[in-house]
Structure 1
Amino acid sequence: MSKNQALFERAQRTIPGGVNSPVRAFRSVGGTPRFIERAEGPYFWDADGKRYIDYIGSWGPMILGHVHPEVLDAVQRVLAHGFSFGAPTEAEIEIAEEICKLVPSIEQVRMVSSGTEATMSALRLARGFTGRSRIIKFEGCYHGHADSLLVKAGSGLLTFGNPTSAGVPADIAKHTTVLEYNNVEQLNEAFQAFGAEIASVIVEPVAGNMNLVRATPEFLNALRDRCSEYGAVLIFDEVMCGFRVALGGAQQVYGIKPDLTCLGKVIGGGMPAAAFGGRRDIMAHLAPLGGVYQAGTLSGNPIAVAAGLKTLQLIQRPGFYDDLAKQTRKLVDGLTAAAREAKVPFSADSIGGMFGLYFAEQVPASFAQVTQGDTKRFNAFFHAMLDAGVYFAPSAFEAGFVSSAHDDDVIGATLDAARGAFASLAA
C-alpha cells in the first residue's frame, strides 16, 4: 500500500471524507488523493516522494511559485515578533494602502481571513446599505459556502432559488435569484421584475469554479448599467481572479468599476487572508462606524499580512504579467496542439495566469455549456498526467493556475507528458 493510500484511510477515521475541503477527495476523478509533504517553485512532492508540476498553486495564491525566498523571509521576520495580537498593526495599514493603490475602485478595505468571509460580509454590507434583501448571482459562480450563496436556479425566472446544500433553509434561499452567466436578456428581465427589491448583484467577472469562463464585455456592462439604474450594489468577486488576470484584477481588464470587490488568494501569498472593499460611502456603514456588524479575531493576522504584502510588492515588477500571460498561453496553445494531433475533441483558454481545459470543441460561455464537456475523457487525461508527474485540478469544473516559476522547461515537460496522455485517449 502506498503512503498516500495509508494516509487517506487513516484520515477518513477522523475527518469527514478524509479531507478538509471536498474537491481534494478526488471524488469526481476517482483514485487516491495525494498528500503533499513539501513544495518549491513550480513543484510539490507527495507522501510517497513523487514530484509533480503543480498547476493548482493552492487554488491560485502561489502566483510566485512555492516558497519564494523573499516571501519566506518576510514571514520569518514577522514570526519572531509574535503570531497574533488581536490588536491593530502598522502592517494592516500598509496592505490596505497597497490594495487601494492597485485597485482604484477600492477606496476603503476591510481585511478578513477567507474568501467566504469576504463575500458573506460584502453581501451583508450591500443589504445594510440599500435596506433591501434580494441578491442576484449566476449559475456556476461560486462565492463561498455562506447559506445565501449555496443556491441554484428554480424552474423559471420568477421562481425561488433552491438550496444546493443540505442545511440551507428555504427561507434564506428565497432571497437569492440565480441567473444564467453571460445572459443579458435574462438579467434585464430580472431587474424589470425585481428591481426595487435587489440589494446586490454578485459575479465572478472571470469565473474559475465552473472551470475558466470569461464574462463578455456586454454582460458586465449590462450589470453595471442595471445596478446603477436601480440603485443596487455591484459586487465583483475577485477572490480568485484578483491579481491573477492583471495587476488591477478583472475590473482593469474590462474597464468596469464595481461598487464593492472581494479579494483573496493572492493577497495572502498562501496564508489565510482575504478582504472586501469599495466605495467609501458604502464602507462607512460597517461597524464601528455604521450598523452593519462584521468582526474577526484573525482578520489582518500579521503573518498572513506579511506574506500577502510582499507578494503584492513582487508582482508589480515590470513585465511580470506579460511574462505570466505568455507562459500560460504557451501552455494552453501547446495542449490544444497536442489534442489536435491526437484527434481528441478539446479546447482551452487563458487570461493572465489562469487557464481552463475543456474536453469539448468550443470554449464555454456558461455553466450549461461547461457541463456538456466529456468528463470521462477529462478524468482519464487527469490520471494520465498525474502518473506522468503533472498535477492539474482534480475536477473538470475548476480553473488552473500558472506561476512565474513555470519556465520554458516546466511548460515543455508538461507538453511532453500531454502528448502521451492525449495519444492514450485516442487509442
Structure 2
Amino acid sequence: MEYKRSSALFVEAQKVIPGGVNSPVRAFKGVGGTPIFIKEAKGAYLSDEDGNQFIDYINSWGPMILGHAYEPVVNAVIEKTKKGTSFGTPTALETEIAQLAVSMVPNIDMIRFVNSGTEACMSAIRLARGYTKRDKIVKFSGCYHGHSDSFLIAAGSGLSTFGVPNSPGVTQGTAKDTLLAQYNDADNVRDLFEANKDEIAAVIIEPVAGNMGCIPPKDGFLEALRQICTENKALLIFDEVMTGFRLAKGGAQEVFGIKADIVCFGKVIGGGLPVGAFAAREEIMSHLAPLGPVYQAGTLSGNPLAMAAGYEMLKALNNDLEIYTRLEEKTAYLEKGIKEVLKGKVPFTINRLGSMISVFFAENPVYDFETAKAADNPYFKTFFHSLLNHGVYIAPSSYETWFLTDALTYEDLDKTIEAIAKVEF
C-alpha cells in the first residue's frame, strides 16, 4: 500500500502539533514508520487519506462496539446539534441516560458525567480521598488511568510505548502518595497496606488490563482485592473505561461478581464522543459537590451531544444483550484462527476475555507488566506493519489490546487470519 498523502499530512502536522499528533501513541514511535491519517470510517472499516481500506481492531480504542457511524447514534447527534451544542445548564437527557446507566450496572445508585476517562478516574480518586480522609492510593504497574499526575507512575499504554515510566512535571509530593503494586499479585497489595497502615484511601485497577495488552485477572485476584479493601476500610475503584458496557451490560462487576465501591466509565458510554463518568453508591456520591465537600465540575460535562450519543448506544446494548454472546463467539473464532496460522512460526501467546484480545510474541504466559514487556520486541513491529499492508489495522503498540466490534463479519475475521498467515517474521 502507498501512504503518500498520509506522509505529507504528517510532515505538515509536525510543524504545528507536538510530534504531529494529539495523543502520543498515534505517532507510530513504538512500531516505526509514519502514521496513517484516517479520512472516514463505516462499520468495521477505516479508510485513509490515500484511499486504502482497513479492517479496524482499534475501534477508537474501544467505544465503537456497534461499529463506526452507527446510524442511531449519528442521527441522534445530528438532531441534537440542530438544537444547540452546549448550554452549561441541566437538561432532561442527562437524567435519562443516568437512569439507564444505573439500571444496567450493579452496585451503583448515582452517576456523574464528565468529559473523558482521564477526568473520571481523576475525580474518582479525589472522591475516594475525600470520603476516607486518607491521601495514598494503590495502582498497578502497567495499568493506565489517564494522564492525571497521580496515575503517571509506571503507567502502561503510551508511556510504556515510549519507555518512560514517569513523566516529567509530576511532583515528588504527588508521586509519594501513589503506591505501586504488581498486577495479579494480591500478596503484594497486602504488604503495601501493612506498610501504610490507615493511610490508603483506595485501590484503583483495570479489572481486565487493556493498557499493557489484554491481561485478565487471575482466579481469586479481584476477590482478594475486595477483601483487602474491606478489611482496611479503603475503597476499591474499578477503572472500567475499557471494560464498562463492553464485557457485559454491567461491565466487569457483572462478569466477575465483584462489587467495586466506585466505577469509572468512558469509551462505549459516549458512542464515540468525548465523555466519561464515575458512579458509586449514594453514601459515597453524596460527598460530591453540591451535596458534599468534594469539588468536581465541568462546563461541558453532560453536554447534549455526548448525552445523545451515549443514550442511543446504551439503549441499543440494553435492548440486545445477545451482542455480548456474538462478540464472545467472534473473538474466540479469531483466537482459534490466529493460533492455527502462527503455530510453529514464532513464539506467541494469546490473552482474551470477551471482545478484548492480544497477541503477545513471548514464549511464557503474560499476566503482569513485567511479562508484557518481554513481548515488546521486533516480532511485534514486523507483525504490525505486515498486517497494515494487508489491510488490517491493529494498535501501533504491543501494550494495547485489540477491540472487536459487532460490525465485524466472519468474512472479515477470515481475511484477518489470512493476513496474519502471510506475515514473514
Q: TM-score range by the shorter chain?
A: over 0.9
394, 402, 414: which one aligns with 2:416: 414
Contact preservation (8 Å) 1:211, 1:398: yes
363, 366, 372: which one aligns with 2:374: 372
Once the 2 structures are TM-superposed, how far is the Cα of residue 349 of structure 1 from its aligned partner? 2.2
Contact preservation (8 Å) 2:184, 2:221: yes
Count, aligned residues = 414
Once the 2 structures are TM-superposed, how far is the Cα of residue 152 of structure 1 from its aligned partner? 3.0
Distance 1:81 1:10 in 2: 35
Partner residue of 1:343?
345
Once the 2 structures are TM-superposed, how far is the Cα of residue 72 of structure 1 from its aligned partner? 1.2
- Could you list the per-position Cα deviations for residues 110-147 of structure 1 after superposition, in whole angstroms to 9, with x for gaps in the alignment? 00000010000000000000110010000010000111
TM-score normalised by length of structure 1: 0.95
Structure 2 counterpart of 1:113, one-letter code = N
- Could you list the per-position Cα deviations for residues 39-58 of structure 1 after superposition, in whole angstroms to 9, with x for gaps in the alignment? 00000111101000000000
Distance 2:190 2:127 in 1: 24
Give the alignment of 1:250-261 within 5 angstroms.
250-261=252-263
Distance 1:32 1:152 in 2: 27
Once the 2 structures are TM-superposed, how far is the Cα of residue 274 of structure 1 from its aligned partner? 0.6
Distance 1:164 1:418 in 2: 34
Once the 2 structures are TM-superposed, how far is the Cα of residue 362 of structure 1 from its aligned partner? 3.7
- Identity, in percent, stands at 50
Distance 1:118 1:62 in 2: 19
232, 237, 248: which one aligns with 1:230: 232
Contact preservation (8 Å) 1:235, 1:261: yes
Structure 2 counterpart of 1:33, one-letter code = P
Once the 2 structures are TM-superposed, how far is the Cα of residue 360 of structure 1 from its aligned partner? 1.4
Structure 2 counterpart of 1:103, one-letter code = V
Partner residue of 2:159?
none
Contact preservation (8 Å) 1:333, 1:348: no
312, 320, 323: which one aligns with 2:323: 320
Say which SS state the counterpart of residue 274 (structure 2) adopts. Answer: coil
TM-score normalised by length of structure 2: 0.95
Distance 1:256 1:313 in 2: 24
Distance 2:165 2:341 in 1: 40
Once the 2 structures are TM-superposed, how far is the Cα of residue 318 of structure 1 from its aligned partner? 3.8
Distance 1:213 1:195 in 2: 29
Partner residue of 2:105?
103
Structure 2: runs of 5+ lacking an equivalent: 156-163
**Alignment RMSD, CA only?**
1.3
1:330 aligns with 2:333: yes
Change (3 A) 1:163 1:370: closer
Structure 1 residue ranges, 4+ long, deviating more than 6 angstroms after superposition? none
Distance 2:364 2:408 in 1: 26
Partner residue of 1:354?
356
Distance 1:387 1:195 in 2: 54
Give the alignment of 1:44-59 within 5 angstroms.
44-59=46-61
Contact preservation (8 Å) 1:163, 1:173: no
1:167 aligns with 2:166: no
Partner residue of 1:66?
68
Distance 2:376 2:61 in 1: 23
Say which SS state the counterpart of residue 207 (structure 1) adopts. Answer: coil
Contact preservation (8 Å) 2:216, 2:352: no
Change (3 A) 1:123 1:381: same
272, 275, 282: which one aligns with 1:273: 275
Partner residue of 2:7?
5
Distance 1:349 1:125 in 2: 33
Structure 1: runs of 5+ lacking an equivalent: 154-161
Once the 2 structures are TM-superposed, how far is the Cα of residue 344 of structure 1 from its aligned partner? 1.4
Contact preservation (8 Å) 2:140, 2:182: yes
Partner residue of 2:35?
33
Partner residue of 2:83?
81
Distance 1:106 1:292 in 2: 18
Contact preservation (8 Å) 1:217, 1:254: no
Structure 2 counterpart of 1:420, one-letter code = K
Distance 2:365 2:417 in 1: 20
Distance 1:194 1:234 in 2: 16
Contact preservation (8 Å) 1:99, 1:106: no
Change (3 A) 1:362 1:326: farther
Contact preservation (8 Å) 2:249, 2:321: no
Distance 2:365 2:79 in 1: 45
